């Protein structure tokens, strides 16, 4: 594991602060000062300011993220983060992110390896959302979304989405759909529906891989069982 991530998961600091500590020469690996933030460490002895650092036990949390909370640890004035909902979030980070207005299933952990496997597109870990959009969506537009659409990202670069699985739940003044994707591009679902002329009014993630949000109340969280963690690893 990269040294900066190792320090983050050990609860020393955020990853950005960890990089600063390393570059300042305050971190040693097996007794030698290490300034390379990408240095791989495993069983080596890591110290910060002479104090030995030990990785914490692996923790796995399932949260029903409420609206109005962000998933970043770089907190701004007046901003609420998902970490405020935990009694101790040192070393814990979210597996991917949900934007401020999106609710639902969020996994948090200090297991970097599992986080990588759940977020990297090559593993095709499916995530399912319930989406309420403006207007009556038609079959042609649903097929466009299933086949993949394109849109401009924040850098005005053209982004093409992979095929999605979509099931229409309700069509009226507004439409409700179940959408399953395995990518995790920034604000992807919102931009997908904007591309076909149906802005998202409400977005909730209800499933990730084999995990379902179930009856967990919004703003609540629980630890995953060992069986659930094992299933995630196999997935």
Express each pLDDT in 69-119 by its tens digit.
999 887 788 899 999 999 988 778 899 999 999 999 999 998 878 888 888
- Claim to verify: residue 194 and residue 214 sit in the same structural domain: no
Tell me, what CATH number does 154's domain have? Answer: 3.30.70.1560
Share of the chain above pLDDT 70, in %: 99
Tell me, what CATH number does 64's domain have? Answer: 3.30.70.580
> What average pLDDT does range 7-14 have in this prediction?
76
Expressed as residue numbers, the domain containing 104 is: 60-122+210-234
pLDDT (tens digit, 9 = 90+) per residue, 148-163?
A: 999 999 999 999 999 9
- Claim to verify: residue 45 and residue 103 sit in the same structural domain: no
CA distance linking residue 193 with residue 197, whole number of Å: 6
212 is catalytic: no
- Claim to verify: residue 82 and residue 150 sit in the same structural domain: no
- Residue 56 has a pLDDT of 67
pTM of the model: 0.78
- Claim to verify: residue 145 and residue 171 sit in the same structural domain: yes
pLDDT (tens digit, 9 = 90+) per residue, 30-67?
A: 999 999 999 988 767 899 998 888 766 789 999 999 99
- Claim to verify: residue 35 and residue 135 sit in the same structural domain: no
- Claim to verify: residue 188 and residue 136 sit in the same structural domain: yes
- Claim to verify: residue 214 and residue 116 sit in the same structural domain: yes
Catalytic residue, from 99, 101, 154, 227: name it: 99
The total number of structural domains in the chain stands at 3
- Claim to verify: residue 17 and residue 41 sit in the same structural domain: yes
- Claim to verify: residue 117 and residue 226 sit in the same structural domain: yes
- Residue 223 has a pLDDT of 97
- Give per-residue burial for 137-167: e unless 16+ CB within 10 Å, then b: beeebbeebeeebebeeeeeeebebeebebe
- Claim to verify: residue 86 and residue 152 sit in the same structural domain: no
- Claim to verify: residue 89 and residue 64 sit in the same structural domain: yes
- Claim to verify: residue 17 and residue 78 sit in the same structural domain: no
Strand bridging mode 127-134 / 93-94: unpaired
Share of the chain above pLDDT 90, in %: 67
On whether the CB atoms of residues 7 and 46 are closer than 8 A, the answer is yes
- Residue 117 has a pLDDT of 86
On whether the CB atoms of residues 149 and 117 are closer than 8 A, the answer is no
pLDDT over 90 at 173, yes or no: yes
Partners of 170 in beta bridges: 176
> What average pLDDT does range 114-133 have in this prediction?
91
């Amino acid at each position: 594991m990269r040294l900066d991530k190792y320090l983050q998961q050990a609860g020393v600091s955020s990853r950005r602060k960890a990089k600063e500590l390393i570059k300042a020469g305050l971190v040693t690996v097996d007794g030698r000062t290490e300034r390379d933030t990408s240095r791989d460490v495993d069983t080596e002895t890591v110290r910060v300011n002479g104090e030995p650092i030990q990785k914490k036990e692996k923790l796995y949390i399932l949260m029903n993220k409420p609206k109005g909370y962000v998933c970043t640890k770089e907190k701004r004035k007046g901003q609420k983060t998902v970490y405020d909902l935990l009694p101790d979030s040192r070393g814990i980070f979210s597996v991917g992110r949900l934007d401020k207005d999106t609710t639902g299933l969020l996994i948090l952990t200090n297991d970097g390896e599992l986080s990588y496997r759940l977020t990297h597109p090559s593993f095709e870990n499916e995530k399912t959302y319930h989406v309420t959009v403006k207007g009556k969506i038609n079959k042609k537009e649903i097929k466009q979304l299933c086949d993949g659409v394109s849109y401009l990202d924040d850098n005005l670069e053209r982004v093409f989405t992979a095929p999605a699985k979509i099931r229409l739940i309700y069509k009226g003044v507004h439409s409700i759909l179940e959408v399953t994707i395995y990518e995790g591009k920034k604000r992807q679902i919102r931009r997908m529906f904007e591309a076909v002329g149906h802005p998202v009014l409400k977005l909730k993630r209800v499933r990730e891989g084999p995990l379902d949000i179930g009856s967990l109340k919004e703003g609540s969280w629980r630890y995953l069982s060992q069986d659930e963690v094992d299933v995630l690893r196999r997935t």
